Chains A and B, each alone.
Chain A
Amino acid sequence: MATIALEGLVKQYGKATVVHGIDLHIRDGEFVVLVGPSGCGKSTTLRMIAGLEDISAGTIKIGDRVVNEAEPKDRNIAMVFQNYAIYPHMSVAQNIGFGLYKSTLPEREKRARISEAARVLGLDALLDRRPSQLSGGQRQRVAIGRAMVRDPTAFLFDEPLSNLDAQLRAQMRIEIKKLHQRLGKTIVFVTHDQVEAMTMADRIVVMRDGRILQVGTPMDLYENPADIFTARFIGSPAMNLLPARLTADADGVRAELPELGASLTLGRFPRDEVTGSQAFIGVRPHDLVVGRHDGQGLTLTGRVSIVEPLGSETLVHIDVAGIPIIASAPGRAIPKVDDLVGVHALTGSLYLFDAETERALCRV
């Protein structure tokens, strides 16, 4: 059983608190991704799980055992470090094999594991090289290899793909996913990259300033972000946010977007007391489509400033009364720069956020 449970986990460096009481239960065999901006405490959390950092308060349980005081070597965890930390005095093969230093496997089995890891990571031809003769991406793969050959209760990855090119990164994503499916081990994976988070995670943990903002499956976070930060972090390009003012009339609540010359009927609204307050309407570029629609929803008009054709669709940057907005155009219908275009988002694809607390209010 390799559940990992963090309860009220706190980390302080002197007077500075960098992790503020995190609660997180990671199930056995789950692939959990920690995301968040730089300095939010992702590495610190991971290092506390590994036992490399003393914890200031709270408990960490691996399986049923409280490991607060356990040495890293007694936790049987494999970790890939943000800056690789592969040993310069050893060859690639020795570095990968170092993960098996404590293992009691027969020599033949060890060698088989090393060459299997090297094959998966595309390092077969480099086994005799020294780290100084490798590129950054190759070093990073060696570091992953050192963790892969082990048989730990859980893997911890700290941004292991950050130095790879786009193609290799996509490939390594798949390899790590395969590793996860094959071994069924618990994985905690830290990344900056929301695509990595979305594609790999069973559950994503969004962190900010040492706190957890939201935990959920990728689709959950995409569909129901708890606040503006998560909404903008998950999904690419980031969600558009339009300042609005909520008013009530006979039909229910309306959102006025005076600067943009638009308004929106929200209908029945769960919390009347927000009436009169400031809000943000969020709409994902994918849902904001160039062209006129008849359906209910939000319609805006603006001038095209940049177009980014992606093949399957085109991202259209438009300027609506001074506010830059990203919309999308399907297929081959690519608008021209400086054209005046209308964009439309259907009811049901819009998000409403409180401007003050930045919390999500509802979907509309």
Chain B
Amino acid sequence: MSPNDRSLKARHQAFPIHPGRIFTWTLLFLGGVVMVTPILFMLSTSLKDASQVYDLRLIPEAPSLDNYKVVLSDGRFLRWFLNSVIVAVCVTLSNVFFDSLVGYTLAKFQFRGRYLVFLAILSTLMIPTEMLVIPWYLMASSFGWIDSYWGIMFPGMMTAFGTFLMKQFFETVPDEFLEAARVDGLNEFTIWWRVAMPLVTPALSALAIFTFLGNWTAFFWPLIVTNSRELYTLPIGLSSFAVEQAIQWEMIMTGASLATIPTLIVFLLLQRYIVRGVMLAGLKG
């Protein structure tokens, strides 16, 4: 037993668990249960057959992967899945690139009207999506973008929120890093890409996760802008399972379970970059 363990143990005995702590933990636990239960039911339902869907036991009587076979062998599902991947990946990359480019410019360059530009971008945050859908639709239809990937993606290629987030983070990057690169002869674009961007990876990962999740689950706009089934994204495709024939809950749940996989992958890949406090190591103080 290392001295450290011993002191930990001693501390446990000396300070009995505080009642407030128990309350906090209980609340957190209940919150966790509320969050996790629907996911468990989703998984459980996906393993049941149609006759057992309304049997609310969590562990299915005869669990089987038949639903998965059906869904995965249905060409439509794979198509929708692919559509969602294409849309979410493109929009995420575009956001990571353009939001941070604009955020960096607003944070690190002094120019006339800078504050005004920032305010203008910020003010768009106050307009709800529902109000924008009709203008978007009119715009898309006059450009001939209805029922195309670009039509689904264009409203989200840059977001005010992402720009704001990146601006705030770039403001914490000390100027000396950029100046050192400037003196070493790099041009401004390379400085942004090679020096500033790596310093804000936590923010970039957070932005990427938010954007990916947001677009992966987006329903309203893709529903409006697409007509042909081949262009449906996953959420719309899944909901079309529901209206077609009788609602096939087990199929919807199977599709939904499969749909969580990419979000998990994205999260697991990116969350390790959300480590704070890397930046200060390069400076004195």
Contact = CB atoms under 8 A, between A and B. Distances in A.
Interface of A: 47, 50-52, 71-73, 76-79, 81-89, 98-99, 101-102, 130-132, 136, 139-140, 146, 150, 163
Nearest to A87: B282
Contacts of B198: 87, 89
Interface in B250-285: 278-285
Contact of A131 (B181, B186, B281, B285): B281
A210 to B, nearest CB: 21
Contacts of B279: 88
Nearest to A156: B183
B283 A73 contact: no
A117 to B, nearest CB: 14
A85 B184 contact: no
Given A52-B179, A88-B278, A89-B278, A83 B185 contact: no
A99 B184 contact: yes
Given A82-B284, A136-B284, A87 B184 contact: no
- What are the 10 closest A-B residue pairs judged by CB atoms, nearest first? A132-B281, A85-B176, A102-B185, A83-B284, A89-B198, A88-B282, A88-B281, A85-B180, A73-B185, A72-B182
Contact of A139 (B177, B180, B181, B284): B284
Contacts of B194: 101
Contacts of A136: 284
Contacts of A81: 176, 179-180
Nearest to B194: A101
A201 to B, nearest CB: 22
8 contacts: A47-B179, A52-B183, A73-B183, A73-B187, A76-B185, A87-B198, A99-B184, A146-B180
Contacts of B183: 50-52, 72-73, 77-79
Nearest to B186: A101
B179 A84 contact: no
A99 B187 CA distance: 14
B184 A84 contact: no
Most B C-beta atoms less than 10 A away, residue of A71, A82, A86? A86
A163 B183 CA distance: 22
Contacts, number: 86
B186 A83 contact: no
A6 B238 CA distance: 72
A163 B194 CA distance: 28
A4 to B, nearest CB: 15
A85 B185 contact: no
B89 interface: no
Contacts of B190: 101
Contacts of B283: 83-85
B121 interface: no
B278 A132 contact: yes
B283 to A, nearest CB: 5
Contacts of B281: 88, 130-132
Contacts of A101: 181, 184-186, 190, 194
Interface in B163-215: 174, 176-177, 179-187, 190, 194-195, 198-199, 201
Interface string B44-74: 0000000000000000000000000000000
A87 B199 CA distance: 8
B186 A84 contact: no
Nearest to A103: B185
Nearest to B280: A88
Contact of A87 (B177, B179, B185, B201): B177
Given A52-B183, A78-B183, A83 B176 contact: yes
A84 B182 contact: no
B101 to A, nearest CB: 19
A102 B184 contact: yes
Given A78-B183, A101-B194, 19 more contacts: A47-B179, A52-B179, A73-B183, A73-B186, A73-B187, A77-B183, A79-B180, A79-B183, A81-B176, A81-B180, A83-B284, A84-B282, A85-B176, A85-B283, A88-B199, A88-B280, A98-B184, A102-B185, A130-B281
